[in-house]
């Protein structure tokens, strides 16, 4: 065995770690990450899971406090003695300890990099954990030191439990169950079953229960010496086992599956909550109420032995494909399985609408929040003229069964693009019948329309396909300006007729500064960028695979990653101004920011607060900075504006702006080297309509 002491310099996550985050969850609620384990103790439910998830509820699941750790941690197990003292364990051998109910965590070295699958304690001094390749961790001093060993001949051990007398029972791959009566020093194999897997084991009264694949439950009445096997109706992987009494048992797995037994496991009844997510853990509360936890934020409960279920999490878990706001308050989201949602409160709440289809909806176009058009798979084309109270099937559906991805609606020239290079155009009033097919002589899927100026528009898609489409005197012509075919193009955005950006596969970013000639300016470390939006010619955002969101202050030449703490694929990014924005994507994920996607600077000095009806002066980025920093602000109304840099003595260093500005977001790059400044503290002031705001920035040469 190997003794691993806790280092004096153990990593401590303080309460400050849970200060205001840059992104807040909107959906799924309370969280969209997968819960892998949960426990109920001292009237508090604790849950932990993927991507650093840790949350708790002290009001029987009515509300949840979310205290996500770093998303690189994947927690598989947790154990709490009471509402204050507990442990987390997970992939890569991570162990965390808290003594204040999760307000802060100490990272405790385990001495291994194996995945830890299960962590249990007999009391506050004695604990055990299991993991890959027969891994066994033991402590007898409350986690100050951990003994590392391997159970000879054992495969990965997925679960472990203590019996009241201190006996340890562990189980895992190939149906292996091992037993130790000397606190883990020696182990005896008591059960194997080739091709099976045991993922959960619990004791209750006179019996020990285990569950796993393929839909089997095991029971022992002699402290684990012998085991009886029962087959449930579902021959799938059962992720957990919960004995509510000696007679009532719960287990479950894929697609919202729950199986329940009322006779100690001898017979089982299959239930289902109609979810795409697996059920992975369950806890028993007072009055026999059971809470079930699963993938992608799934939470539900039952108080009548699963005769009925109460959903405790969001019902919206479809993949989300697009968002469009027509004002600060009114917006739409569309997604898989015919999903259409609308908000009228700036995205705080979303109401599902009846789209009349189960086909995936890929894009939405709305003029005013009342009239809207959507396109989707198998030629889906629908529109509404009453804010979505009713959705009408358009005639375009009779022309094609191809998947449609791009839509642009104008009064007299409306276009739709999609699979197989299909393009349709309508010359009638806002996309009404008839529609005409246009050939671009390509079989690549066309996915996004760009800026339309008068009678021209850009259309991009897979294989680097990019076209400029001209319409005049009822004739359509195309200019093929395609980019390298290795880049599948996913999204396009223009701020004006000259400046536009395209993003796509391999994290590529293209830009035009003359309204048509695109050149590659960046290649980010990401499989796909799926969306891009620029506030002005300098400030922009892009998002894509693996929960990645990026921000640029220099027109896309350089990008900063904005941590979101999740790994979902983002399909859209949208900002109403420089500070307020959303990202959305797979499994119903909607995140919102009010800080431009960045964590607010602590103790930042703002000398004069500005009324929101005048302007908003943002934090410069980076700050502190070396050489250059970008100053951004939003004008709420037109006005003569002055931006000045000065030092700590009040001496004017530079005048960056002195002109009349239109409403909207603006950004100014400040280069300290240009003025030969020394390192130190400087200030920037913005004045407009008789009001002034001042912020601090730190220059480090």
Residue of higher predicted confidence among 689 and 387: 387
Q: Which residues contact 355 (CB under 8 A, 6 or more apart)?
A: 338, 339, 340, 361, 374, 382, 391
Mean pLDDT, all residues of the chain: 88
In this prediction, residue 475 has a pLDDT band, given cuts at 50, 70 and 90, of: low
Q: Is the pLDDT of residue 13 over 50?
A: no
DSSP conformation class of 599 = P
Measured CA angle at 537 (ends 534, 542), to 5 deg: 30
**Which pLDDT value is given to residue 613?**
56
Written as one string, the DSSP assignment of 282-294 is EEE-GGG-EEEEE
Nearest to 532 by CA among 498, 502, 566, 507: 502
- What pLDDT digit, counting tens, does each position of 99-122 carry? 999 988 999 999 999 999 999 999
Q: Is the pLDDT of residue 419 over 60?
A: yes
In this prediction, residue 56 has a pLDDT band, given cuts at 50, 70 and 90, of: very high
Q: Looking only at Cα atoms, what is the longest distance across the chain?
A: 90
Other Cβ atoms less than 10 A from the Cβ of 123: the count is: 10
C-alpha gyration radius of the chain? 29
Contact 633, 657 (CB under 8 A): no
In this prediction, residue 427 has a pLDDT band, given cuts at 50, 70 and 90, of: confident
Q: Which residues contact 634 (CB under 8 A, 6 or more apart)?
A: 577, 578, 579, 615, 616, 618, 664, 665, 666
Average pLDDT over residues 624-641: 85
Nearest to 394 by CA among 412, 411, 375, 413: 375
615-699 maps to which CATH number? 2.60.40.2360
**Which pLDDT value is given to residue 515?**
87
Other Cβ atoms less than 10 A from the Cβ of 71: the count is: 17
CATH homologous superfamily, domain 487-594: TolB, C-terminal domain (2.120.10.30)
What whole-number distance in Å separates Cα of residue 46 and Cα of residue 268?
Answer: 28
Cross-strand pairs, 230: 217
Residue ranges of alpha helices (H) inside 366-473 are: none
Q: Is the overall model pTM greater than 0.75, yes or no?
A: no
Q: Is the pLDDT of residue 456 over 90?
A: no
The yes/no answer on whether domain 2-14+35-311 falls in CATH 1.10.287.130 is no
Average pLDDT over residues 141-152: 91
Average pLDDT over residues 389-404: 91
Average pLDDT over residues 175-203: 93
**Which pLDDT value is given to residue 147?**
94
DSSP conformation class of 497 = S
Per-residue CA distances from 135 to 110, 128, 198, 500 (Å): 11, 10, 16, 54
Give every strand in the sheet of 157-162, ordered side by side. Answer: 157-162, 168-172, 177-180, 188-191
What whole-number distance in Å separates Cα of residue 341 and Cα of residue 344?
Answer: 10
Average pLDDT over residues 191-204: 92
Q: Which of 290-304, 408-422, 495-509 is predicted with the least confidence, judged by mean pLDDT?
A: 408-422
Q: Is the pLDDT of residue 7 over 70?
A: no
In this prediction, residue 455 has a pLDDT band, given cuts at 50, 70 and 90, of: low
What whole-number distance in Å separates Cα of residue 278 and Cα of residue 257?
Answer: 7
Per-residue CA distances from 301 to 42, 76, 125, 406 (Å): 19, 21, 33, 41
Cross-strand pairs, 147: 3, 138
Evaluate the CA torsion angle 651, 654, 659, 661 in order and state its sign: negative
Q: Which of 2-11, 244-253, 482-491 is predicted with the least confidence, judged by mean pLDDT?
A: 2-11
Average pLDDT over residues 124-147: 94
**Which pLDDT value is given to residue 27?**
85
**Which pLDDT value is given to residue 529?**
97
In this prediction, residue 452 has a pLDDT band, given cuts at 50, 70 and 90, of: low
In this prediction, residue 71 has a pLDDT band, given cuts at 50, 70 and 90, of: low
What whole-number distance in Å separates Cα of residue 537 and Cα of residue 460?
Answer: 21
- What pLDDT digit, counting tens, does each position of 279-326 carry? 999 999 998 999 999 998 899 999 999 999 999 988 788 999 999 999
Average pLDDT over residues 545-564: 93
**Which pLDDT value is given to residue 608?**
36
Q: Is the pLDDT of residue 362 over 80?
A: yes
What whole-number distance in Å separates Cα of residue 594 and Cα of residue 582?
Answer: 9
- What pLDDT digit, counting tens, does each position of 574-613 carry? 998 899 999 999 989 999 999 999 876 533 433 333 344 5
**Which pLDDT value is given to residue 628?**
86
What whole-number distance in Å separates Cα of residue 288 and Cα of residue 598?
Answer: 44
What whole-number distance in Å separates Cα of residue 24 and Cα of residue 634?
Answer: 22
Residue of higher predicted confidence among 470 and 196: 196
Domain spans of the chain? 2-14+35-311, 487-594, 615-699
**Which pLDDT value is given to residue 73?**
82
Q: Is the pLDDT of residue 278 over 80?
A: yes
The answer to whether the bond into 603 is cis (omega within 30° of 0) is no
Q: Is the pLDDT of residue 12 over 50?
A: no
Q: Is the pLDDT of residue 185 over 80?
A: yes
Nearest to 651 by CA among 623, 683, 674: 683
Annotate 420-447 with b (16+ C-beta within 10 A) or e (fewer): ebbbbbbeeeebeeebeeeebebebbbb
**Which pLDDT value is given to residue 454?**
54
**Which pLDDT value is given to residue 237?**
94
Q: Is the pLDDT of residue 622 over 90?
A: no
DSSP conformation class of 525 = S
């Amino acid at each position: 065995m190997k003794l691993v002491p806790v280092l004096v310099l153990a990593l401590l996550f303080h309460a400050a770690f849970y200060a205001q985050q840059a992104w807040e969850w909107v959906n799924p609620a309370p969280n969209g990450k997968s819960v892998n384990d949960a426990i109920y103790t001292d009237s508090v439910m604790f849950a932990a899971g993927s991507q650093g998830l840790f949350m708790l509820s002290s009001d029987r699941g009515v509300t949840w406090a979310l205290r996500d750790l770093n998303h690189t941690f994947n927690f598989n197990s947790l154990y709490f003695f009471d509402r204050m003292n507990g442990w987390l364990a997970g992939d890569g051998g991570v162990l965390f300890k808290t003594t204040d109910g999760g307000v802060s965590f100490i990272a405790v070295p385990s001495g291994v990099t194996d995945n830890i699958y299960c962590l249990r304690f007999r009391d506050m001094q004695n604990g055990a954990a299991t993991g890959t390749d027969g891994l066994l961790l033991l402590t007898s001093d409350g986690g100050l030191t951990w003994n590392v060993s391997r159970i000879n001949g054992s495969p990965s051990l997925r679960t472990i439990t203590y019996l009241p007398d201190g006996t340890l029972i562990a189980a895992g791959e190939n149906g292996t169950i091992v037993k130790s009566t000397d606190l883990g020093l020696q182990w005896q194999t008591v059960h194997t079953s080739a091709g099976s897997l045991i993922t959960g084991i619990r004791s209750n009264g006179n019996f020990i229960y285990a569950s796993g694949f393929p839909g089997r439950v095991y029971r022992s009445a002699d402290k684990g010496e012998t085991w009886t096997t029962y087959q449930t109706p579902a021959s799938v992987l059962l992720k957990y086992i919960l004995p509510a009494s000696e007679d009532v048992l719960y287990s479950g797995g894929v697609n919202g599956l729950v199986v329940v037994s009322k006779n100690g496991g001898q017979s089982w009844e299959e239930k289902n909550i109609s979810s795409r997510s697996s059920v992975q853990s369950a806890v028993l509360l007072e009055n026999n109420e059971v809470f079930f936890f699963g993938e992608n934020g799934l939470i539900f409960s039952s108080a009548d032995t699963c005769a009925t279920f109460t959903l405790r999490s969001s019902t919206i878990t479809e993949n989300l494909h697009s968002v469009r706001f027509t004002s600060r308050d009114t917006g739409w989201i569309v997604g898989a399985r015919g999903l259409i949602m609308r908000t009228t409160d700036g995205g705080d709440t979303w109401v599902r609408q009846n789209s009349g289809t189960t086909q995936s909806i890929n894009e939405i176009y709305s003029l005013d929040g009342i009239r809207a058009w959507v396109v989707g798979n198998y030629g889906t084309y629908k529109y509404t003229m009453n804010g979505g109270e009713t959705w009408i099937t358009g005639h375009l559906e009779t022309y094609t069964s191809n998947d449609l991805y791009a839509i642009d609606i104008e009064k007299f020239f409306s276009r739709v693009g999609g699979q197989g290079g299909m393009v349709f155009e309508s010359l009638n009033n806002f996309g009404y019948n008839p529609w005409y097919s246009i050939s671009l002589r390509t079989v690549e899927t066309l996915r996004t329309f760009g800026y339309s100026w008068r009678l021209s528009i850009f259309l991009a898609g897979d294989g680097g396909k990019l076209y400029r489409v001209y319409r005049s005197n009822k004739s359509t012509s195309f200019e093929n300006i395609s980019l390298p075919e290795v880049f599948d193009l996913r999204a396009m955005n223009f701020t004006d007729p000259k400046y536009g950006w395209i993003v796509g596969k391999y994290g590529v970013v293209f830009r035009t500064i003359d309204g048509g000639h695109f050149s590659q300016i960046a290649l980010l470390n990401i499989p796909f960028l799926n969306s891009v939006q620029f506030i002005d010619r300098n400030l922009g955002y892009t998002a894509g695979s693996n929960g990645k969101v990026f921000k640029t202050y220099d027109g896309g030449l350089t990008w900063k990653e904005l941590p979101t703490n999740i790994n979902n694929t983002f399909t859209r990014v949208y900002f109403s101004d420089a500070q307020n924005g959303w990202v959305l994507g797979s499994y119903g994920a909607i995140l919102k920011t009010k800080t431009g996607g960045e964590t607010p600077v602590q103790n930042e000095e703002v000398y004069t607060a500005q009324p929101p009806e005048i302007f908003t002066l943002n934090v410069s980025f980076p700050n502190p900075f070396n050489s250059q920093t970008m100053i951004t602000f939003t004008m709420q109304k037109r006005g003569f504006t002055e931006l000045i840099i000065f030092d700590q003595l009040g001496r004017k260093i530079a005048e960056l702006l002195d002109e009349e500005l239109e409403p909207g977001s603006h950004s100014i790059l400040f280069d300290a080297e240009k003025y030969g400044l020394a390192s130190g503290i400087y200030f920037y002031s913005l004045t407009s309509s008789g009001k002034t705001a001042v912020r601090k920035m730190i220059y480090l040469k």
